[in-house]
Amino acid sequence: MVKALGDLCLCCIQQHLDTIPNVGAGLPTLYKERLIERLAYHDLLFKSYLPHVSYNLFCEALRHIKLYKCQQVDDHFLTLLGQARCQLEVLVIHGCSSVTDVGVQAVTEGQQNLCVLELKKLPKMTSAGLTSIASPVLWQVEIKRCPLVTCDGLSALTRQCPAIKVLHIAHCPKLDRQSYTVVAAQLGPVLEELDMGIPSITDQELGSLAENCPNLKKLDLSGAKAVGKEALIKLFQGCTRLQNLDLSYSSRLAQACECQALWTLPQSLKELSLCGVLIEDEQVFVEGLQRLRCLSSVRLCGVPALTDATLSQVLETIGPNLESLDISGGFSKSLTDEGLRAVSKYCVKLQELCLSLLSQVTGVTLVPVFQTAERALNFRKLYLSCRMLDASVLSVVAATCHELRLLEISGVVLVNDELLYQLAENCHQLSHLGIKGCRQVTNDGVCELVRHCPIRSLVLSGIHSLTDQCIFTLANSCPLLEEIYLNGCAQISPAAVRYLSDCCIGRLFVRHAIPNAVPNQLMARNLDTGEFCRADLMPLAPPLSQT
């Protein structure tokens, strides 16, 4: 893949707003929005350039603004944007740590058409920043890692925006469990999706949701250690439309009398997560899941009651409708290839399968699944990081899963360049690949893969043989790359990684921690190949002869 002509033109414009005469007059609004987003991605909003940005791109017609991890986005920038009098529909401010209440208020004041709002990683924003948000059509809100936001701010937001259907809040330590009661009382039957990320919720707060929010369709209770059977039964009776429920790490359900709540799970559920719930009662576990005939996605990793026998009993009933199954995790040693035979037999519609960290599994009983063309074409995501994984499984996956988007095979020692060649030839939709610690892989395999697949996320940590060659190939072939992990790749230079970041359209997340450099190590660019290499290891040129 290479950059599209339109992307090349936008890259040119974003770097020359100060020299192209009146360029903003001829740009449609869509491209102005994209340019603002890309300028933030590449930290081009410096003070001397900002007047050209505001003059050419800020206008009343702007509707979608997304600002991601740019420290140049501050209160002044947001004030200029607010002064453009644009009526925004979508506003995302993520990771702009210089922004305070002043900036948030300036850009949200009077926004009556705002539908989607995301405020993430804003350490200086307090509850006062939320007081100016008053949109009658705001339906989706996400507030994460804003440590100064309190229940008062959340109360003001939900009171002034009564149409919120989707509310996601996480890692806001000043919010306590009373926030559930406030949200339930003020949004009531309008609320359909809730994730508060407050593990201290008790039966009392869960009861307020059951009484006030009958239309809840999705509820995240992961880590809710104090929630028990009686409160859950009340929730299920009050919220009869519940379709997605996350009970991960709800430790109270591990108790013998409390786990019976599984018998009362609403049959309307389509997605369920019991990840890390230490249920040991196999009868309750099996019977509870067998009732849920509408399930399309279930996560069961880390559940002691999950064995070869119970997995077979569960899948016999709900397997035919499952599209996503997660039974990964190193907790259960009783899950073997015999249990996976049930996956092969009953799960005929699977699009996602997670088997990572199963120490007793080779995966050979799954081969018939991938050998059936119709079933193989269904798969979009596969997590197969099992140290005993058989080579035949990876080979057939690479040969038949042509619609695969994500493949996680980190730590599988038999992964080599030949497998990457197969993926490059057959899996042209692959965008996420994890091959951490696969030390048989070399530059050749990575380069061949990225030339043929639209890679967005790549995990290469621990592959010490990789050099700048694969990074330059990524720069030339993967303009949509969003994240790359290179920990331990000591032969890849920081300069090459910076070049890669500049070539990507969006902001590239990079994790590149390498061991301490060898004393006197010197990296330099080879002018013939363009590759950065160890100059201190190159032979010295012979001295010029003296005349």
pLDDT at 201 over 80: yes
For the segment 368-385, the average pLDDT, to the nearest whole number, is: 95
Is the pLDDT score of 273 beyond 90?
Answer: yes
Read off the pLDDT of each residue in 371-382 and give the average, rounded to a whole number. Answer: 95
CB burial string 162-182: b at 16+ within 10 A, e below: eebbbbbbbebebbebbbbbb
pLDDT at 525: 60
> What pTM did the predictor assign?
0.90
Q: Helix (H, G, I), strand (E, B), or coil: what is residue 519?
A: coil
| Residues 486, 463 contacting (CB under 8 angstroms) | no
Could you write out the DSSP letters of every residue in 226-259? T--HHHHHHHHHH-TT--EEE-TT-GGGGSTTTG
Detail the DSSP E strand segments found in 279-356: 297-299, 324-326, 352-354
Least confident of 8-17, 18-27, 325-334: 325-334
User: pLDDT per residue over 75-91, tens digit each?
Assistant: 999 999 999 999 999 99
Question: Which DSSP helix (H) or strand (E) runs through 477?
Answer: helix 468-477
At 347, list the tokens.
Answer: 């799960």
pLDDT on residue 57: 96
Q: Phi and psi dihedrals of 143, rounded to 5?
A: -125, 115
∠ Cα 259 265 271 (to 5°): 110
pLDDT at 486 > cutoff 50 = yes
More confident residue, 313 or 515: 313
Mean pLDDT of 248-268: 92
Token pair 């330590």 in the structure block, residue: 173
Query: Contact 421/395 with Cβ under 8 angstroms?
Result: no
pLDDT (0 to 100) of residue 334? 76
Local confidence band at 125 (pLDDT 50, 70, 90 cut-offs): very high
What is the average pLDDT across 328-332? 69
The closest of 121, 97, 104, 227 to 171, measured between CA atoms, is: 121
Task: Cite the beta strand spans of 104-196 per DSSP E.
Answer: 116-120, 140-144, 166-170, 193-195
Give the pLDDT confidence score for residue 547 in this predicted structure: 43
* Average pLDDT over all residues of the chain: 92
Q: Measured in whole angstroms, how far is the alpha carbon of residue 490 from the centre of its chain?
A: 27
Looking at per-residue pLDDT, the higher value among 522 and 57 belongs to: 57
Using pLDDT thresholds of 50, 70 and 90, give the confidence band for residue 543. Answer: low
Residue listed under structure tokens 């009970």 = 247
